[in-house]
């Protein structure tokens, strides 16, 4: 069951898997690891926007959308969720277990590297 840490909603594997399995892809799941990590293994169909690029691209995100951030362990994705919340995007959540806990399908390679934020919508 979801709980909150520092005002950020924390989602478990089962909650993220349920969101992933929905036919309507809302909220938007985003992998915030670096490219090398993403190409080794990522959740199929989930786009990559590395944490190192988030601050420079934050203004391009729709503030009325809902986002769930994923990283290796949940630490970086939590920081990204906090950054978004501090910058006016209130509907954010963190997958607290990250890829270390992910027990669903995985893909390798550069499946969906986001070039323009508009690709998310």
The string of pLDDT tens digits covering residues 66-100 is 999 999 999 999 999 999 999 999 999 999 999 99
Catalytic residue among 70, 71, 81, 120: 71
Domain carrying residue 14: 3-110
Q: In what order do the strands lie in the sheet with 67-70?
A: 3-5, 8-11, 92-95, 67-70, 28-31
Q: Is 71 marked active-site?
A: yes
CATH number at residue 87: 3.40.250.10
In a domain, 118, yes or no: no
pLDDT for res 85: 95
Number of domains in the chain: 1
Residue 116 is assigned to a structural domain of this protein: no
Is residue 30 included in any domain, yes or no?
yes
17-42 pLDDT, tens per residue?
Answer: 999 998 777 899 999 999 999 999 99
The answer to the question of residue 121 being in a domain is: no
Q: 87 lies in a domain?
A: yes
Diameter of the chain measured on Cα atoms: 34
């Amino acid at each position: 069951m979801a709980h909150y840490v520092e005002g950020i909603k924390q989602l478990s594997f089962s909650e993220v898997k349920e969101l992933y399995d929905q036919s309507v892809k809302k909220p938007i799941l985003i992998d915030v690891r670096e490219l090398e990590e993403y190409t080794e293994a990522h959740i199929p169909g989930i786009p990559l926007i590395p944490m190192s690029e988030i601050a420079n691209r934050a203004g391009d995100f729709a503030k009325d959308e809902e986002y769930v951030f994923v990283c290796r362990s949940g630490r970086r994705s939590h920081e990204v969720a906090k950054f978004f919340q501090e910058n006016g995007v209130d509907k954010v959540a963190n997958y607290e277990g990250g890829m270390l806990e992910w027990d669903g399908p995985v893909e390798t390679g550069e499946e969906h590297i986001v070039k323009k934020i508009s690709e998310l919508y």
